[in-house]
């Protein structure tokens, strides 16, 4: 195993400590909860707060979105593991300004259990919580079981829209509805070329041959839907993009936001080659890529691979996504 680390058991905590030291003007840790991170600056006036959380190993998910101000607090879990309900409750209480808190997180079993428990506990303190989950990975479950799909990089669009709506003073119901509407119109699909290495394990969590790829792999190494020979980017895009277009029922003249996300070990140049192929296919279908995001938005340690997300824009979402283009890649 080749990693920059000290004690593998301390990997998540030391990475978090480094992040806090690097961004003292943006984020701070709650004194009684080492895994609870909130914005260092309080809002000037009461407004809806946004809480998120999840396992470590996915920067900028999840705490990186707090650094850039798209969320107000984050509960940080162990590597690829859900944070506890108690930590999430501490975050909720710290960021609430009396206007309620939106929980925005990925659709994973442990997160659902712990975030729902935290929401129940928050009600005992008079805090109203609304929950929105990202479930954009179309290959993790069929369309008729969309509520079981995993959340991957497309959740970025939810953070962007919810964060801007909250700062504009919208109500909790409105912020939640906008985030939900945005994620309902977002679909993603991923491909992996290699697995991630958890520091405490020391070996990849799945293996692929040098000339092999896997379509649909999850960001924790969940099995994909198909393994096969590594193909060109153009061939890969021809397999992936039409599935997204069909899921969103996109037609000529429709406008989309496109997100090409790197999973941790994919050079940015390769991500742009992927976007080139995506753009050409959309152009051929006369679908307009109105806003484009290329970079790392939801990673999996050093996993080699990428995901493509499409958001079907409308007059409600488009201005908010336009405003988000200035904050493309949180820390």
CA–CA distance, 52 with 71 (Å, rounded to integer): 7
Asked if omega into 60 is within 30° of 0 (cis), the reply is yes
Question: Other CB atoms closer than 10 Å to residue 219's CB: what's the count?
Answer: 31
Whether pLDDT at 330 is above 90:
no
For the chain, percent of residues with pLDDT exceeding 70:
98
Q: Does 329 fall in a domain?
A: no
Statement to judge: residues 115 and 237 lie in one domain: no
Are 108 and 133 found together in one domain? yes
What is the average pLDDT across 140-148?
96
Residue 175 shares a structural domain with residue 248: no
Q: In what order do the strands lie in the sheet with 305-312?
A: 226-229, 212-215, 186-192, 305-312, 255-262, 288-295
Residue 331 lies in a domain: no
Looking at 157, 179, 201, the residue that finishes a domain is 179
Q: Is the Cα dihedral 131, 105, 16, 327 positive or negative?
A: negative
* DSSP alpha helix (H) spans, 97-153: 109-123
* pLDDT classification of 26: cutoffs 50, 70, 90: very high
What confidence tier does 331 reach under pLDDT thresholds 50, 70, 90? very low
The answer to whether residue 15 is domain-embedded is: yes
pLDDT tens-digit series, residues 113-136: 999 999 999 999 999 999 999 999
pLDDT value of position 47: 98
Domain match, 91 and 21 both: yes
Residues 235 and 293 in one domain: yes
Cis peptide before 62 (omega within 30 of 0): yes
> Considering 155, 179, 203, which residue would you say is the last residue of a domain?
179
Residue 329: pLDDT above 70? no
Domains identified in the chain, total number = 2
Mean pLDDT of 288-297: 96
> Is residue 253 domain-shared with residue 195, that is, in the same domain?
yes
Name the residue range of residue 195's domain.
186-324
Pair (171, 260) in one structural domain: no
SS3 content of the chain, % helix, strand, coil (to 5): 35, 25, 40
Residue 1 has pLDDT above 90, yes or no: no
Q: Is 314 within a domain?
A: yes
Q: Cβ–Cβ contacts within 10 Å for residue 151, how many?
A: 27
* Residue 188 host element (H or E): strand 186-192
- Asked whether residue 152 falls in the same domain as residue 14, the answer is yes
Q: What percentage of residues in the chain have a pLDDT greater than 90?
A: 96
* 2 in a structural domain: no
What's the rounded mean pLDDT across residues 172-192? 98
**pLDDT-derived band of residue 325, with 50, 70 and 90 as boundaries?**
confident
Query: Active-site residue numbers?
Result: 58, 220
Rounded mean pLDDT, 133-147: 97
Both 33 and 110 in one domain: the answer is yes
Note whether residue 3 is domain-resident.
no
Please report whether residue 1 resides in a domain: no
CATH number at residue 205: 3.30.1180.20
User: Last residue of a domain, which of 128, 160, 179?
Assistant: 179
Q: Is residue 230 part of a domain?
A: yes
CATH of the domain at 96: 3.40.50.10440
pTM, rounded to two decimals: 0.96
Angle among Cα 145, 147, 153 to the nearest 5 degrees reads 115
Q: What is the pLDDT of residue 328?
A: 53
Cα end-to-end span (Å), the chain: 25
Task: Identify whether residues 115 and 56 lie together within a single domain.
Answer: yes
Q: What is the pLDDT of residues 237-270, one digit of tens each?
A: 999 999 999 999 999 999 999 999 999 999 999 9
Q: What's the pLDDT tens digit per position in 197-222?
A: 999 999 999 999 999 999 999 999 99
Average pLDDT over the chain reads 96
Tell whether 52 and 174 lie within a shared domain.
yes
What pLDDT shows up at residue 326? 57
- Looking at the structure, tell me whether residues 100 and 38 fall in a common domain: yes
């Amino acid at each position: 195993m080749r990693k920059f680390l000290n004690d593998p058991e301390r990997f998540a905590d030391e990475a978090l400590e480094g992040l806090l030291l690097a961004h003292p003007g943006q984020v701070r840790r709650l004194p009684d909860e080492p895994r609870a991170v909130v914005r260092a600056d309080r809002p000037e006036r009461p407004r809806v707060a946004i809480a998120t959380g999840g396992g470590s190993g996915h920067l900028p998910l999840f705490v990186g979105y707090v650094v850039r101000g798209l969320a107000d607090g984050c509960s940080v879990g162990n590597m690829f593991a859900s944070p506890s309900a108690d930590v999430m409750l501490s975050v909720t209480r710290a960021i609430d300004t009396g206007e309620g808190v939106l929980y925005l997180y990925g659709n994973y079993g442990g997160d659902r259990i712990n975030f729902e428990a935290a929401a129940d506990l928050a009600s005992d303190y008079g805090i109203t919580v609304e929950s929105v989950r990202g479930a954009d990975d179309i290959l993790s479950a069929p369309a008729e079981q969309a509520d079981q799909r995993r959340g991957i990089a497309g959740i970025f669009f939810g953070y962007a829209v919810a964060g801007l709506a909250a700062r504009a003073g919208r109500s909790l119901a409105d912020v939640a509805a906008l985030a939900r509407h945005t994620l309902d119109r977002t679909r993603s699909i991923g491909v992996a070329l290699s697995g991630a290495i958890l520091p405490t394990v020391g070996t990849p969590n799945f293996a692929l041959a040098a000339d092999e790829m896997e379509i649909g792999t999850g960001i924790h190494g969940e099995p994909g839907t198909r393994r096969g020979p590594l193909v060109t980017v153009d061939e890969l895009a021809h397999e992936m993009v039409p599935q997204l277009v069909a899921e969103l029922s996109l037609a000529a003249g429709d406008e989309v936001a496109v997100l090409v996300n790197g999973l941790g070990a994919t050079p940015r140049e390769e991500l742009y080659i992927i976007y080139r192929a995506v753009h050409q296919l959309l152009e051929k279908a006369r679908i307009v890529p109105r806003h484009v995001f290329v970079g790392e938005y939801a990673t999996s340690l050093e996993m080699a691979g990428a995901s493509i997300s499409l958001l079907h824009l409308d007059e409600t979402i488009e201005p908010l996504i336009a405003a988000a283009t200035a904050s493309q890649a949180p820390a």
